[in-house]
Each structure stands twice: as C-alpha cells, then as structure tokens.
Structure 1
Amino acid sequence: MHEHLAAIMSRLDHVARRAELLRAGLRQKDLRRAVESGALIRVRNGTYADALAPREVVRASRVGGVLAGASAAALHGLWTPHEFDLTVSVMPNAQRLRDPNDANRPLADAAVVVLRDAHHLTTDERLVASPATVAVQAVRHSDPRTALATIDSALRLPPGERPQLAEIAARLPRRLRYLVGWADPRAESGTESALRYELRKAGLRFECQVWLTSTIRVDFVVEGFLVVECTSKEHHGSTEQYNKDRARITTIIGLGYVVMEFTYQQVFFDLPRVWQALVQGLLLRHSAIPHVQAPLQIRE
C-alpha cells in the first residue's frame, strides 16, 4: 500500500485533498491507516501531505489556500526581498482560514499575507502560483521596484518555465502595464532592477550591463561617465573577491569613469542618500542636466 500511496502522492506533488486521493484509487480505510502510520500527515481537515512536501506549500495549504507572491517566487527560484511573510492566495469568499503552523487555531496574528485572488488561478496552480501569476501579484500588491525585480527574474527562468510578458500584461489593469515594458532580463539582482527603475523614472540616460573592456562589465553607465554597481556581501564578501573588486575599480577609474557602489539595503531602504550620492557624482562632470524629467534631490 505504501508504494501505491507514494506513487499517488508523487503525481499530486505531495499534497492532496481527500477527494483527489479517493479519485486516485485510495480507499478511506487506507487513508486512515496512512495517517496512523505516519506515511501521511493531516495538514487540515480534508488535506494531507507526505514527507516530501515542501514546507511552505504545506503551510499555505494549512491556511486554506495556494502558495503565492514572494513565497511562491522563492520556490520557483525567482528574486525575493530579503525578508517577506508567507503569502497565500485564497478564494474571495474563503472562510475558516487557519494558522499556518497549527490547523486547530484560526488565522489571526500569524504573519501571513492573504490575497483573495485564487479564482484567477488555473488548475495547474492547485498548490503553487505560477511564475506568471507571481509576477502579476507583485505588480498588483508590491511597490514598483519590487515588482520590476520579480518580473526581471522571471524572465531569466529556463524557456519552459519563463512567462511571456504579453501574458503578464494582459492580466494587469492598463495603468500598471507600463512596468512590464520596463522589464529587462539582463538584470542580475533585484537591487539592479530597483535602481534601474529609479534611474529611468528620473529621466537619466543610462546603459545596462556595459562592457568597458574585454574583461570588465559594469551594471550601469549613467550619463556616459558614471559607473554604478550593485554589490552584495554574498558575492563580494571573501578577502580574495574584495581584493579583486578593488583592483577592478582602480582599472575603471583609470579609464576615466567615476565609480559608485550601492547595496540592497541602501537602494531599498535608504534611497534619499543614494540619490544624494548620485547627484554629487553627476555634478562632478555636469553643472546641469536639462533633460532630466524629475528633480534629483534628497527625498525624505
């Protein structure tokens, strides 16, 4: 029975409703024995999982919905903010939502973002929202920088998993579709996507992923002379990499560029000071930039 059960649960992606299990050929007494033996756990009334079920999928199912938003993005390997709450899609009229860690408790103070949009999900999204849906949810429910970072990362998925921009745009209100047109799969981090959004919104001229030499590629060249790099401790934290980065910057400056580096924390949580630095950097070469559409100033 366990081999038969394992095959069924594998086909159902390791989390299943009672009706799905019965339709697959499992008998009610087999289901009861599987729970008693520990082969299955009862996630909530009428929903079961085996040991191979992803933890966050189980938690979303226990709430009473589908893993969505940043939580689904993480499962798909998309970019996510450094910190985010469990996000779950439920039907608009869903009742009896439960705590993600305890089905005996109603959903109350738990850190869960509930999106009442599950009526838009397809049958393939019975447990986890697709990358296309995740992108749509990001645009609808996140700030524009986070949304653009999500879309950019979705465009870097393998061809069979990658959503189409037209599909994302078609599912958005007209007023939000502009953000889809700003997407760029060349972005290598969410920080880069967010900073690109700000540069474009300000009307600055810039290029992305620019080769300055045969071995040096930079994230942005702004106004033709200001090199802007998005850095992270994860990719630049070792002593060896630190020394390589310093040598690289020395070479870039030697080519006649001004160089600035910004972190995730700065771009997402200290943007006024980022802009202050950018303004000062630009003023090193230009006393005025008449084509800029938005004032470059400290924004409190």
Structure 2
Amino acid sequence: MAKTGDAVSLTALASAHGGVLLTAQAMARGWPQRRLNRHLVSDGWTRIRTGAWLEPGRVLDEMVLLHANQVGRPHLVVSHTAAAVLHDVETRTQRVEFTAPRGVSTTVHGGVLHKMRLGPEETTMVGGLRTTTVVRTMADLLRAGPRDDALVAVESAVSRRPSRYGGGKRRREPVTTLREIAAALESRPTMRGTATAQEWLALADPKAGSPAETIARLRMHDAGLHPESQVLLTTPTGRRAYPDFFFRGQGLVVEIEGYRWHGSRAQHQRDTARFNDLMSCGEVRRILRFTASDVYRRPGAMIRDIRGALAQLSGFSAVP
C-alpha cells in the first residue's frame, strides 16, 4: 500500500481509469480528505464532478467523461454513439451516452442516460470501459434514430473503412454484419422502435464507402431514385472500375467525392485515372460528380441535377 501523501499513487490510480481519480479511492489508500483536496487543487487537478478529478495535463474530453461517469458505477454501460466510437465506427454525432437498468437511480454528468435492459452477452470491455457490444450498439442506434445517423453508423460497421485509430492511415475490417444486426433486432421484437429499425436496416448497403455516400443514396432513395452501387464495370483495356452509383438504363454514373481522398498529388492522380477509366466503359454515357458539401448542404440541387441528367439521357422531360 502506498504511503499517505504519496502523489505517485494518485497518478497510478488515475491512469487505470483514463486519468480520472475518485477521492474515495485515494482516501481508501490512506489520504485524509482535507489534505487530499488541498493537494488536488494545488497540483492542478481538474474537478469533473463530485468526488471525481482529472489528472493534470489531460484534456476534459468525451473519453474522459466516459471514464469519469463509469468509474465506481458498474451499472453504467457506455452505449449508442459513444459505444460506436469505441468500436471504431463512424458516426455523424458523438455524445457521452450510457445505458442503465430501469429502476436504478443514477445520473450521467455531461451526457445522456438511457434506461433499458441489457443481457450479460450484450456488453463487453473496450479500452477499459464497459460498453454494449457492437451488434447491440447498432441495434440501439437503429431503434433510437434518426434514420440517416443510424445508417451511417451501420454501414460503417459492416464495411471496410479507414480506422480512426492510427490517424486513418490503415483500414479495419468490418466489425459486424447486417445479418447479425438483424438477428439482434429480432431477438427483442417488442422493444420500442424495433419495427421501424428493421425497416431502416433494409435500406443499408455494406458497399457504401463513406458517410457522404450513405447520405447521398438515402437522398436519392427518398426522391424515388434507386441506382446500383459499387457495381463492377470493365474498361476496354480490361481494367476494373466501381462507380459509387450507376443508373444502368441511362448509362449515368454518380460519384461522391470525399474530402479525405484528395490529400496528396498521388491521391488526386488516382482519382483522375479512375474518372478516365469510368468514362471509357462502354456502358457509361455521362458522369456527375458531387462533393460532400453538395450532399449535406445542397441535396435538393443534387437531386435536380441527377433527374435532369436522367431525363436527357432517356429522352424524356425531367420530373419536377
């Protein structure tokens, strides 16, 4: 046991919980409360909530709040968007979110608390935090909505994506499948939101390569447009090309340009070569390219451009 007043022991206690120290832990190690409080203040520890302090030099961010809420409270389970981040899944929104059993009186500092039942098989440990499994997390996001945010996360989970760990320089494999998520929804058929969640899951496409592609496809779906996605086309020289979206009957390709693919000359060169490959495919008559900003901020204009191109290629007037 560390001696009373041993500052190193406080750092050691905090490091086990993402830099968060509970005063109860320190007092159990022999620190008198008054002396402990004076030491924490004088050494620059940050008070997070009653009885919880953040180690000097650390930033009070969402990850710290997850540790601060969960340490000493085993009934709290990280869930929803917070759990998705822990599982290396892309989300449009990120919040400090927990799930606790109904009937348990508790609060969450700086975040959101959901009350529902979790089976022991639906929780796991990630990065020192108790969290819902990736399958239960996706099912919860689908039940809670909104649709677009839930499907961005689901399609990230079931596809091969750049990993947020390591600065996005490597890709991680899918962390679950649509079938596993469907089974999780079916296992709780009477849970609120399950019927709607199952309808939304049917719209998911594991071939989506980015959140912008997901949202673009949903905007087209809502407008009654249903192109093929990531279909294989072959150039006259035998090279393979996979357009983001392809309206085969009209020969129209729709490409969604993600910002991260234009960070270097080499990436720009590959993008140019890909465009030329697509244009050389016999099935392709026209290519429309949209940025992520077009998708998120000007979806109406994007849909009008697609409708106009389809009308021109089909020889009919554009649908208003």
TM-score tier by shorter-chain length is: 0.5 to 0.7
1:217 corresponding residue in structure 2: 242
2:64 corresponding residue in structure 1: 58
Q: Please say if 1:135 is aligned against 2:147.
A: no
Distance 1:27 1:168 in 2: 49
Q: 1:237 to 1:36 in 2, by over 3 A?
A: closer
Q: 1:147, CA displacement in angstroms?
A: 1.4
Q: 1:127 to 1:282 in 2, by over 3 A?
A: same
Q: 1:11, CA displacement in angstroms?
A: 5.5
Distance 1:222 1:128 in 2: 45
Pick from 249, 253, 276 the counterpart of residue 250 of structure 1.
276
Structure 2 counterpart of 1:88, one-letter code: E
Aligned 1:39-78 pairs, distance under 5 A: 42-50=47-55, 55-60=61-66, 69-78=80-89
Distance 2:135 2:21 in 1: 23
Distance 2:316 2:29 in 1: 73
**Partners of 2:20 and 2:53 within 8 A in 1:** yes
1:115 corresponding residue in structure 2: 112
Q: 1:62 to 1:297 in 2, by over 3 A?
A: farther
Q: 1:244 to 1:210 in 2, by over 3 A?
A: same
Aligned residues: 274
Distance 1:217 1:173 in 2: 34
1:167 corresponding residue in structure 2: 184
Deviation per CA, 1:20-65: give whole Å up to 9, x if none.
Answer: x48xx74555994884785975431133455779831223566898
Q: 1:238, CA displacement in angstroms?
A: 3.3
**Partners of 2:139 and 2:184 within 8 A in 1:** no
Question: Secondary structure of 2:314's partner?
Answer: coil
Q: Bigger CA drift: 46-55 or 132-141? A: 46-55
Question: Secondary structure of 2:230's partner?
Answer: strand
Distance 1:179 1:134 in 2: 15
Q: 1:191 to 1:263 in 2, by over 3 A?
A: same
1:238 corresponding residue in structure 2: 264
**Partners of 1:226 and 1:260 within 8 A in 2:** yes
Q: 1:90, CA displacement in angstroms?
A: 6.7
2:147 corresponding residue in structure 1: 144
Question: Where does structure 1 lack aligned partners over 5 or more consecutive residues?
Answer: 101-113, 290-295
Distance 2:15 2:208 in 1: 35
Q: TM-score, normalised to structure 1's length? A: 0.68
**Partners of 2:80 and 2:137 within 8 A in 1:** yes
Distance 1:94 1:232 in 2: 44
Q: TM-score, normalised to structure 2's length? A: 0.64
* Identical-residue share of aligned pairs (%): 22
Pick from 73, 97, 103 the counterpart of residue 88 of structure 1.
97
Q: Please say if 1:190 is aligned against 2:207.
A: no
Q: 1:183 to 1:285 in 2, by over 3 A?
A: same
Q: 1:26 to 1:120 in 2, by over 3 A?
A: farther
Distance 2:86 2:299 in 1: 29
Distance 2:204 2:135 in 1: 13
Distance 2:308 2:271 in 1: 23
Question: Secondary structure of 1:59's partner?
Answer: helix
Distance 1:35 1:160 in 2: 43
Cα RMSD (Å): 4.3
Question: Secondary structure of 1:117's partner?
Answer: strand
**Partners of 2:230 and 2:242 within 8 A in 1:** yes
**Partners of 1:135 and 1:150 within 8 A in 2:** yes
1:107 corresponding residue in structure 2: none
Distance 2:156 2:147 in 1: 14
Distance 1:118 1:17 in 2: 25
**Partners of 1:60 and 1:86 within 8 A in 2:** no
Q: 1:116, CA displacement in angstroms?
A: 3.4
